[in-house]
């Protein structure tokens, strides 16, 4: 068990995954600046930058993904945010279910107005979210899946899947 400087965030078993998620979130925030349409950023220019994280909360790797995202947001906000804007993290539990994952992704974009998503542990859930990332024009950075089909989808159907980034 490792406790980080924030004092409240603990990554239990997968400290590497936690650090990987922290790095993935930093990349996602960079992608926000590059890929998110200017109208979406302008619409929320006065408030915090809204980022979503999706994972199965009941699983240790899923909890590590969320903890890594929380740690990254805490570090970013402690250093002044991004161009003076704080980052706000929205957490979504996919319960290892494609249906719940898609509903959570849609709610994140349409109701909570996130401008990027990070996470995903189950390949099946990420494969279900991939088309929605393209339809809704929201960058989605996967963190824990091993399916090569995700990368293959981007390569073979780039225009449809260009918002998905698979590590």
The CATH number of the structural domain formed by 2-166 is 3.40.50.2300
pTM greater than the 0.85 cutoff: no
Give, for all 167 residues of the chain, the pLDDT tens digit: 344 444 343 444 444 555 566 666 666 555 555 555 554 555 556 799 999 999 999 999 999 999 999 999 999 999 999 888 999 999 999 999 999 999 999 999 999 999 999 999 999 999 999 999 999 999 999 987 889 999 999 999 999 999 999 87
**b (16+ CB within 10 A) / e for 135-160:** ebebbbbbbbbebeebeebbeeeeee
Closest CA to 114 of 132, 139, 94, 135: 139
pLDDT score at 21: 60
The count of other CB atoms within 10 Å of the CB of residue 13 is 13
79-84 contacts, C-beta under 8 A, 24 or more apart: 81/48, 81/49, 82/29, 82/33, 82/49
pLDDT score at 146: 85
- How many Å separate Cα 11 from the centre of its chain? 17
SS3 14: coil
* Largest separation between any pair of C-alpha atoms in the chain: 45
pLDDT score at 35: 52
Q: Is 32 exposed, middle or buried (0-12, 13-18, 19+ CB in 10 A)?
A: buried
Cβ atoms of 76 and 82 closer than 8 Å:
yes
Cβ atoms of 22 and 72 closer than 8 Å:
yes
Contact residues for 134 (Cβ-Cβ < 8 A; gap 6+): 159, 160, 161, 162, 163, 164
């Amino acid at each position: 068990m490792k406790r980080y400087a924030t004092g409240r965030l603990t990554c239990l078993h997968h400290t590497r995954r936690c650090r990987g998620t922290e790095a993935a979130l930093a990349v996602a925030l960079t992608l926000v600046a590059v890929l998110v349409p200017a109208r979406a950023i302008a619409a929320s220019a006065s408030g915090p930058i809204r980022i979503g994280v999706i994972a199965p909360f009941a699983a240790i790797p899923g909890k590590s993904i969320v903890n890594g995202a929380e740690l990254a947001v805490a570090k970013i906000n402690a250093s002044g945010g991004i161009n003076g804007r704080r980052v706000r993290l929205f957490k979504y539990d996919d319960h290892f279910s494609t249906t719940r994952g898609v509903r959570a992704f849609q709610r994140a974009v349409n109701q909570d107005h996130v401008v990027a998503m990070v996470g995903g542990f189950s390949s099946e859930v990420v494969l279900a979210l991939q088309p929605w990332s393209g339809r809704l024009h929201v960058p989605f950075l996967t963190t824990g899946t091993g399916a090569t089909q995700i990368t293959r989808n981007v390569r073979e159907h780039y225009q449809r899947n260009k918002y998905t980034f698979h590590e």
